[in-house]
Amino acid sequence: MFETSVEPERSAPGARVWPVGLLLRAIADSLEARFNPVAVRGEVSGFARAASGHCYFSLKDEQGQMRCAMFRRAAGLLDFSPRDGQLVEVRGRLGVYEPRGELQLIVEAMQQAGQGNLFEEFLKLKARLQAEGLFDAGRKKALPLLPRAIGVVTSLGAAALHDVVTALQRRAPHIPVVIYPASVQGAQAPEELRQALRKAYERAEVDVLLLVRGGGAMEDLWAFNDEQLARTLVASPMPVVCGVGHETDFTIADFCVDLRAPTPTAAAEMCTQPQGVWLGALELAQGRLQRSVERQLQANGQRLDWAASRVSRPSHLVTRQQARLAGQAQRLRHAMQSGIAHEKNVLQGLGLAFPQALAQSLQQQQRRLERAQLRLESLDPRLVLQRGYAWLADMRGQAISSARATRPGQALRATLADGEVDLTVSAPRLI
């Protein structure tokens, strides 16, 4: 509650004359006593965060709107970033901003309550156009490196036009600029923007188009969320750069164009290179060309001098040719002598190595014979017979290896280590 010792004057019986400040304080006291603290639900509009950290915006609905201020301490407790069109619930205290005599709500807390109608409509349109492929990166065109002319679609009275023209004049004063005027706010703005774009398409006098507008609340930028405008932008035969609003502002046009710029000035800078860059490149190319021509002239001059010397003194040419032939003959003799010496060394080496190689080969063959003899001896059946075994066969010499192959009374012959024994089968026994 505000306290004051100033009493209102009485100009007539029953009438009071209030000083302005006192009246405002009295109104503030009445608001404090009757309403505060208060909770309000509404749609955010014109949200801005000052360098001090304080936030200023309006809350609105279909019946009206109210100015709000949220100081840095309360703003630092937010767990989301408020944006235009968002539906929120705030708690705070109603008061009067005395320097301007305005009613305002000092917001102490804010929470999301859903999304406003405009923002919800924006999201629905964005999802539908994206599903149709209007935002696909594959269909977007690259900006020309050296545009012949640049077109600007905006309002003639917009501050964005001044920013764009200033940036283009500073960076590329040699490039012509064609302006296609259209409203950028209001009910008539979408149709005027479409007409301006179609005029630019038909004339085909520019290589790139800039669609620009300054910042504002979501409803101020709503013309750039028009569905037909989006389809007109997608049908553009030349690249389009959209620089609408500030860096945090997004519209449907931003997603449809070939390139989005955070501001109108940035849009102008994106489609042009500074004139100094091209002048520097030309100077560099000129220097390279000049040095190349000078080197070519010097090389041709040397060739001319050499040709003149050959024509004026043919004896020098004969002398040089004789010297070359002598050098070739010397190199040939040296090559022949080197080749013969190399082959001689090879033959000498073979002559020294042959006896040793022959001896090693004989030793290897001898060892192979010895190993083969050992293997043959290990397979000799007589050695097996010497260990007590016998080789059993019938009278025709066929080997008997199974008891099933015998019959009672059959005559067999057993070969032992020192002789043979004739046998007669009495009765075969199977194991």
Per-residue pLDDT of the chain (431 residues; tens, 9 = 90+): 334 444 555 555 556 777 777 777 777 777 776 777 888 988 999 999 999 999 999 999 888 888 999 999 999 888 888 888 888 899 988 888 777 778 888 899 998 875 566 777 888 888 999 999 999 988 899 988 889 999 999 999 888 899 999 998 888 888 899 999 999 988 899 999 999 999 999 999 999 999 999 877 777 888 899 999 999 999 999 999 999 987 777 889 999 999 999 899 999 888 887 666 666 667 777 778 888 887 888 788 778 877 776 665 666 667 778 888 888 888 888 888 888 888 878 777 777 777 787 788 888 888 898 888 888 877 777 777 777 788 888 888 888 888 888 888 888 888 887 888 888 888 877 77
At 208 the pLDDT is 94
pLDDT of residue 310: 64
Packing angle between helix 189-203 and helix 227-234, nearest 10 degrees?
10
Q: Are strands 150-154 and 15-17 parallel, antiparallel or unpaired?
A: unpaired
Cis peptide before 239 (omega within 30 of 0): no
CATH code linked to domain 9-115: 2.40.50.140
Q: Note the pLDDT of residue 173.
A: 86
What distances in angstroms separate CA 425 from CA 203, 403, 406, 422, one per listed residue? 124, 10, 7, 10
pLDDT at 204: 92
Task: Please check whether residue 414 is in contact with residue 390, taking contact to mean a CB–CB distance below 8 angstroms.
Answer: yes
> Which pair of tokens denotes residue 56?
């200023």
Q: pTM of this prediction?
A: 0.47
CATH of 148-272, one of 3.30.230.70, 3.40.50.300, 3.50.50.60, 3.40.50.2300: 3.40.50.2300
Q: What is the pLDDT of residue 165?
A: 92
Contact between 207 and 178 under an 8 Å Cβ cutoff? The reply is no
Euclidean distance between CA atoms 146 and 272, whole angstroms: 7
Residue 5, pLDDT score = 42
Cα separation, 421 vs 416, in Å, equals 8
pLDDT of residue 338: 83
